């Protein structure tokens, strides 16, 4: 289907609903079975939920919240909110009660849809008194709420093809944020339309027969763009992950044509492969011509990526060494860069035209300039956010009067219009020697070490940085002496490549994994440096003065 400017997501949905009504749109797993929802069936549900919403007599363009893990009803609800003429406020399914309350109160939500959640009873306390709630079916529904199935039974389908004004607000996306309260990024329909048009040839080439696997939070801009929007534009099918235990099986069943994973997921894939096939043996097998092809196919099939022709990564820096590692297996990963404020669409590594060390070529229609004093990356495009909801001061701090969004990232653009990220303004810190250190660049040096699961380089006020390390499952299987030898060798190789003030003085091996649940990672699996630093900062000087180079917590 041709991608055009001035066309909303709803119009693409109506097209497939009309022209391919019996084709499967959504596949929701329940054990070994799937609940298959066709474009026609999804359309009927969208239209019935829309009728219900409009029966409530809400003020025009009301904000309607959605709290759920990824599932078929999430997509249907999002479309129904659009169809009803209201504004969606998607929320992370891992929020605490206080965070739920903060967003619902700040957004002035008039209705909230509650879905697939691990800790609804804990989150429930954050729902403001009197706020009407709707429960999805199949995922331990709360029977105090209006029930999804009752709506489908009671309300007729609104058969009108509602077409939104493209200049009207489409959604408010509250960023996950590594610091402070989330900010509500306001996005209009025109921004989404322009973004899809500008990226069409690079991202999906107007392809058909597409399959997507949805497991990263749909409330995040990347998943919403690359899974929900691209599927609807191309008339594809979305498979969902049931839970963490079934992730591998669900991905294999989906066998997606497009697959998005943050660097942490790619690292987990790599460590999983190496736990079964150590690097030396893998290298040997890849050098044997016939066996080479068999091994690659087996690994790709085992991952569920046998027919994937477009792999994406974003949300956090991806070590070049990890991209090269997967490339040897014929898994070509394309980095993309952006932020919620510019719809996650600044640049992407194009097919067949890679520039090592960059995060891709800047999209047509996207302007990028580098602040000559700070090196900060600034972007401007027709898919800029409108601003932060009810936060004019914060908006002015991020987007200047000329429409330039100040990203907070430091980087440079080469003559071919490829962008390189060299650091993060707020993550850079000053050592006691007065030198600025960009920790993310140093952390990249540990990317090839299969003993490393997670790493955070710190050192505010110390003469030299220290590295806080969480050991991988592979590393946990070896002796303490082998761990020490491995990390000492790591420093021997890494430190000579760094500037004098960047050289790692100590490696501290920590006991516990950093997770979303213990608040050390965002829902998109970026480490929360401020939280990690706050917890361990009292120990920095003690560790720094320790006689050993490799220290165990």
pLDDT, position 180: 60
Cα(408)–Cα(27) distance, integer angstroms? 38
For 278-334, how does the pLDDT look when each residue is reduced to its tens digit (9 = 90+)?
A: 899 999 999 998 899 999 999 999 999 999 988 988 877 787 788 889 999 999 998
Indicate the burial class of 473 (C-beta count within 10 angstroms; 0-12, 13-18, 19 or more).
Answer: middle
Beta partners for 26? 37, 238
Written as six digits, the tokens of 147 are: 């029930």
Q: Would you say residue 177 has pLDDT above 60?
A: no
Pairing mode of beta strands 419-424, 405-413: antiparallel
pLDDT bracket for residue 203 (50, 70, 90): low
Cα(255)–Cα(267) distance, integer angstroms? 19
Phi, psi of 537 (to 5 degrees): -55, -40
Q: What is the mean pLDDT of residues 119-133?
A: 93
Q: Are 63 and 87 in contact (CB under 8 A)?
A: yes
pLDDT, position 389: 96
Does residue 429 or residue 170 have the better pLDDT?
A: 170
- Rama region for 303: left / alpha / beta (φ>0; ψ in -120 to 50; rest): alpha
- Write down the residue that tokens 């330039």 correspond to: 404
Q: Are 433 and 439 in contact (CB under 8 A)?
A: no
- Write down the residue that tokens 């990564």 correspond to: 313
pLDDT, position 259: 93
Phi, psi of 6 (to 5 degrees): 60, 45
- Rama region for 365: left / alpha / beta (φ>0; ψ in -120 to 50; rest): left
Average pLDDT, the chain: 89
Q: Are 270 and 322 in contact (CB under 8 A)?
A: yes
Does residue 434 or residue 245 have the better pLDDT?
A: 245
Q: Would you say residue 369 has pLDDT above 90?
A: yes
SS3 297: helix
Cβ partners under 8 Å of residue 197, min gap 6: 3, 4, 5
pTM: 0.83
Cα(110)–Cα(108) distance, integer angstroms? 6
Percent of the residues in the chain that have a pLDDT greater than 70, as a whole number: 95
pLDDT bracket for residue 168 (50, 70, 90): very high
Lowest mean pLDDT among 91-100, 188-197, 246-255, 532-541: 532-541
| CA pseudo-torsion sign 122, 126, 129, 133 | negative
- Rama region for 74: left / alpha / beta (φ>0; ψ in -120 to 50; rest): alpha
SS3 430: strand
Cα(342)–Cα(345) distance, integer angstroms? 6
Q: Would you say residue 194 has pLDDT above 80?
A: yes
pLDDT bracket for residue 232 (50, 70, 90): very high
Q: Please give the span between the terminal C-alpha atoms of the chain, in angstroms, as a whole number.
A: 57
For the segment(s) 429-552, the CATH number from 3.30.43.10, 2.60.40.180, 1.10.10.410, 3.30.300.30 is: 3.30.300.30
Which stretches within 56-147 are classed as H helix?
72-83, 97-107, 120-124
Written as six digits, the tokens of 465 are: 């940085």
- Write down the residue that tokens 């479309």 correspond to: 79
Break the chain into its structural domains and give their ranges. Answer: 9-234, 429-552
pLDDT, position 433: 64
Domain spanning 9-234 has what CATH number? Answer: 3.40.50.980
Of the candidates 518, 492, 507, the residue with the CA atom closest to the CA atom of residue 553: 507
Give, in order, the Cα–Cα distances in Å from 358 to each of 258, 421, 437.
Answer: 21, 7, 20
Q: What is the mean pLDDT of residues 182-197?
A: 92
Q: Would you say residue 523 has pLDDT above 90?
A: no
Q: What is the mean pLDDT of residues 164-192?
A: 86
Q: What is the mean pLDDT of residues 385-413?
A: 92
Q: What is the DSSP letter of 356?
A: T
pLDDT, position 304: 94
Phi, psi of 174 (to 5 degrees): -85, 120
At what angle are helices 289-303 and 247-254 packed, to 10 degrees?
A: 110
Which stretches within 402-495 are classed as H helix?
439-443, 473-476, 480-494
For 34-62, how does the pLDDT look when each residue is reduced to its tens digit (9 = 90+)?
A: 999 999 999 999 999 999 999 999 999 99
Cα(315)–Cα(270) distance, integer angstroms? 18
pLDDT, position 68: 96
SS3 172: strand
- Write down the residue that tokens 């997501």 correspond to: 9
Beta partners for 430? 436
Percent of the residues in the chain that have a pLDDT greater than 90, as a whole number: 58
Written as six digits, the tokens of 277 are: 């096939």
Q: Would you say residue 99 has pLDDT above 80?
A: yes
pLDDT, position 322: 87
Residue 284 has a CB neighbour count (10 Å cut-off) of: 11
Does residue 199 or residue 60 have the better pLDDT?
A: 60
Q: What is the DSSP letter of 56?
A: T
For 56-80, how does the pLDDT look when each residue is reduced to its tens digit (9 = 90+)?
A: 999 999 999 999 999 999 999 999 9
Q: What is the mean pLDDT of residues 190-214?
A: 82
pLDDT bracket for residue 179 (50, 70, 90): low
Same fold, 9-234 and 429-552: no
pLDDT, position 181: 73
Q: Are 150 and 68 in contact (CB under 8 A)?
A: no
Does residue 69 or residue 521 have the better pLDDT?
A: 69
SS3 69: coil
Q: Would you say residue 432 has pLDDT above 70?
A: no
Q: Would you say residue 427 has pLDDT above 70?
A: no
Over the Cα atoms of the chain, what is R_g? 24
- Write down the residue that tokens 């894939």 correspond to: 269
pLDDT, position 109: 97
DSSP assignment of 176-235 equals: --SSSS--EEEEEHHHHHHHHHHHHHHHTTT-SS-EEEE-S-TTSHHHIIIIIIHHHHHT
- b/e map of 22-41 (b: 16 or more CB within 10 Å)? eebbbbbbeeeebeebbbbb
Does residue 489 or residue 528 have the better pLDDT?
A: 489
């Amino acid at each position: 289907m041709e991608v055009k400017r001035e066309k909303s997501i709803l119009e693409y949905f109506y097209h497939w609903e009309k022209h391919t009504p019996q084709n499967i749109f959504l596949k929701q797993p329940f054990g070994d079975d799937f609940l298959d929802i066709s474009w026609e069936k999804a359309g009927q549900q969208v239209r019935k939920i829309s009728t219900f919403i409009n029966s409530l007599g809400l003020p025009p363009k009301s904000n309607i919240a959605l709290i759920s893990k990824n599932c078929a009803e999430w997509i249907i609800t999002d479309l129904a909110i659009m169809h009803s003429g209201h504004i969606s406020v998607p929320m992370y399914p891992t929020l605490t009660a206080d965070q739920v309350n903060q967003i619902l109160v700040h957004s002035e939500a008039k209705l909230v849809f509650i879905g697939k959640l691990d800790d609804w009873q804990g989150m429930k306390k954050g729902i403001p008194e009197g706020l009407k709630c709707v429960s999805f079916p199949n995922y331990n529904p709360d029977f105090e709420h209006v029930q999804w199935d009752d709506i489908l039974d009671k309300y007729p389908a609104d058969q009108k093809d509602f077409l939104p004004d493209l200049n009207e607000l489409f959604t408010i996306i509250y960023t996950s944020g590594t610091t402070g309260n989330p900010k509500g990024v306001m996005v209009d329909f025109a921004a989404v339309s322009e973004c899809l048009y500008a990226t069409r040839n690079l991202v999906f080439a107007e392809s058909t027969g597409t399959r997507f696997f949805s497991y990263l939070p749909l409330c995040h801009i990347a998943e919403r763009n690359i899974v929900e929007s691209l599927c609807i534009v191309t008339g594809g099918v979305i498979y969902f992950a049931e839970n963490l235990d079934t992730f591998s099986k669900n991905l294999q069943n989906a066998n997606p044509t497009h697959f998005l994973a943050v660097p942490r997921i790619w690292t987990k894939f790599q460590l999983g492969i190496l736990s079964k096939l150590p690097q030396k043996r893998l290298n040997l097998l890849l050098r044997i011509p016939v066996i080479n092809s068999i091994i690659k196919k087996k690994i790709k099939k085992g991952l569920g990526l046998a027919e994937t022709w477009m792999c994406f990564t974003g949300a956090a820096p991806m070590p070049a060494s990890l991209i090269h590692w997967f490339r040897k297996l014929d898994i070509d990963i394309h980095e993309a860069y952006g932020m919620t404020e510019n719809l996650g669409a600044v640049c992407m590594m194009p097919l067949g035209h890679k520039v090592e060390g960059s995060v891709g070529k800047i999209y047509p229609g996207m302007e990028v300039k580098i602040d000559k004093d700070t090196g900060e990356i600034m972007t401007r495009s027709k898919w800029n956010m409108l601003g932060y909801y009810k936060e004019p001061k914060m908006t002015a701090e991020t987007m200047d009067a000329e429409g330039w969004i100040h990203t907070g990232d430091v980087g440079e653009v080469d003559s071919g219009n490829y962008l390189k990220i060299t650091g993060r303004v707020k993550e850079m810190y000053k050592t006691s020697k007065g030198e600025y250190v960009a920790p993310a660049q140093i952390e990249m040096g540990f990317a090839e070490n299969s003993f490393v699961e997670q790493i955070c380089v710190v050192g505010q006020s110390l003469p030299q940085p220290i590295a806080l390390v969480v050991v991988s499952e592979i590393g946990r299987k070896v002796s303490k002496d082998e761990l020490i030898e491995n990390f000492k060798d790591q420093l021997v190789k890494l430190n000579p490549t760094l500037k004098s003030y960047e050289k790692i003085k100590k490696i501290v091996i920590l006991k516990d994994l950093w997770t979303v649940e213990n608040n050390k990672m965002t829902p998109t699996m970026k480490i929360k440096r401020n939280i990690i630093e706050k917890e361990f900062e009292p120990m920095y000087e003690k560790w720094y003065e320790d006689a050993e180079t490799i220290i165990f917590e």
